[in-house]
């Protein structure tokens, strides 16, 4: 009986730890710091961007996910959004947390995706999933907007159409960025992200 109780206690503790580890960072909370390397071998530090007064957009990325294909190939949702904000002290970073052996993993695969999708912003590699789990990234894409004060201003979907091929009429990230850049409270600070699951290691 004692062994059974101990086993159940340990199982519950591990379950709770996993839940905490995967809990998304909520709007208003401090964005976890990180430094990751992109597909060209260049390091990117969130802290450095914030120190320079930048607003930062994070996009969880997997080049073989149909929803990433939707927004990067079938449509140019991400590139178009970036083009609208890049001259307003906004940095856009895609992050790939696919583990080895999982869909979308690998430097060469992502280098090819950058070329094929004509991605104008960095794609950062997070193969061990550390940064993805810090943010509680659930899907590709899963979007975060981080204001220059280092707090999460928006967490959720890129837009309001959850299909695998048609972009939405409302771009939640652009609306959030508009509010942030105007120094206003974000009207819609959280939505439910949609897409493929992030391919973390088992």
What does the domain layout of the chain look like in residue ranges?
A: 25-197
Residue pair 86/93 in contact (Cβ under 8 Å)? The answer is: no
- Name the E strands within the chain: 35-38, 43-45, 55-60, 90-96, 123-125, 139-140, 143-146, 152-156, 196-197
Its pTM stands at 0.89
For the stretch 124-178, pLDDT in tens is 999 999 999 999 999 999 999 999 999 999 999 999 999 999 999 999 999 999 9
What whole-number distance in Å separates Cα of residue 75 and Cα of residue 9? 48
* β 139-140/196-197 pair status: antiparallel
What whole-number distance in Å separates Cα of residue 179 and Cα of residue 190? 13
The CATH number of the structural domain formed by 25-197 is 3.40.30.10
Handedness of CA 145, 122, 134, 18 (dihedral sign): positive
**Average model confidence (pLDDT) across the chain:** 91
What whole-number distance in Å separates Cα of residue 161 and Cα of residue 173? 13
């Amino acid at each position: 009986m004692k062994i059974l109780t101990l086993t159940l206690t340990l199982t519950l503790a591990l379950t709770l730890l996993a839940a905490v580890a995967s809990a998304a960072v909520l709007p208003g909370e401090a964005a976890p710091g990180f430094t990751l390397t992109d597909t060209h071998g260049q390091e990117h530090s969130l802290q450095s961007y914030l120190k320079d007064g930048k607003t930062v957009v994070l996009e969880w990325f997997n080049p073989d996910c149909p929803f990433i294909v939707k927004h990067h190939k079938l449509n140019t949702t991400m590139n178009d959004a970036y083009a609208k904000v890049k001259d307003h002290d906004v940095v856009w970073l895609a992050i790939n947390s696919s583990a080895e052996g999982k869909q979308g993993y690998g430097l060469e695969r992502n280098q090819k995706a950058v070329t094929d999708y004509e991605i104008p912003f960095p794609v950062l590699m997070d193969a061990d999933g550390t940064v993805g789990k810090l943010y509680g990234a659930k899907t590709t894409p899963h979007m975060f907007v981080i204001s220059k004060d280092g707090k999460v201003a928006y967490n959720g979907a890129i837009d309001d159409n959850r299909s695998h091929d048609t972009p939405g009429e409302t771009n939640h990230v652009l609306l959030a960025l508009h509010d942030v850049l105007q120094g206003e409270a974000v009207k819609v600070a959280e939505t439910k992200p949609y897409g493929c699951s992030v391919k973390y290691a088992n």
